[in-house]
Amino acid sequence: MTLLVTDAIVLHGMDYLETSRILRLATRESGVQAVLARGTRREKSRWGGTLDLFTEGVAQIAIRPTRELQTLTTFEPTRPRPQLATELSRFTGASAIAEMTLRFAQEEVQPGVYATLSDTLDGLAAADAAATREVVLRGAWRLIGELGFAPSLDECSECHTILADDQAVRFSHRAGGALCDTCARLAPPGRTIPGDARRVLRGWMQGEQEVLDDAALRAHQRLLREFLQEHLADGRALRAFDVWERAGWDDPV
């Protein structure tokens, strides 16, 4: 058995037996880990409220390589983020980002994934309702880039012809990004995106903020959903993403 000490974020929890909980943590040093937190549901638990959803802290995890479920021995919170529970768009956005991380991150060191997750949750905690959709879209595309699935935006994803910055292009999820006119004619019908949309995507993957109107945000949500379904969802529903996408347009802004 080894003791792993790492920054970690609580992304999911479920009750286990009468007094404990099973948590899934995103960790800086060891990717996503499933851990058992014993005694968390006791009336006088030593854990208190330290393991609330989206809380970030320093975790000590007892690792046994032959087990899928490890043991959480201590957790010292550093960023509780209670703001994420006070507004629907913040909570659904954080849940969508957490779902992406849990579904697609691996049990290995992925410091860029962890940093993007932490930055996005911080951004959501500070955002008002009108800004949360852009924060989630930016964080989601940054995660996609850190996971190694960034779409080709500046050159054709098939023949690698350089594309003009202001050029409207066919975006093929199956091919992995933008297509030149020649390759687009040979590809199945797909979505056409303008040069400005490619610029926005490029900026988001570099962590830049963009101010967009509702129509543009809606179009980018559709593009993101289609890309996730093609490359990462493996035929399974993205339930938290679906809730975020629907709730985002029901909320007044």
The model's pLDDT over 58-69, given as tens digits with 9 standing for 90+, comes to 999 999 888 889
What is the count of structural domains for the chain? 2
- State the residue range of the domain holding 135: 82-253
Q: Which of 56-60, 103-107, 112-116, 194-198 is predicted least confidently?
A: 103-107
| CA quadruple 32, 38, 40, 44: dihedral sign | negative
Quote the pTM value: 0.90
Q: Last residue of a domain, which of 32, 58, 80?
A: 80
- The answer to whether residues 64 and 167 belong to one domain is no
Are 107 and 67 within 8 A, CB to CB?
Answer: no
Per-residue confidence (pLDDT) for residue 252, from 0 to 100:
42
The model's pLDDT over 2-56, given as tens digits with 9 standing for 90+, comes to 999 999 999 999 988 888 899 999 999 999 999 999 888 776 667 667 889 999 9
- The answer to whether residues 75 and 146 belong to one domain is no
> For every residue of 79-100, which 3-state class applies, written as one string?
ECCHHHHCCHHHHHHHHHHHHH
Assigned token pair, 187:
């590809």
How far apart are alpha carbons 16 and 40 in whole angstroms? 10
Per-residue confidence (pLDDT) for residue 235, from 0 to 100:
75
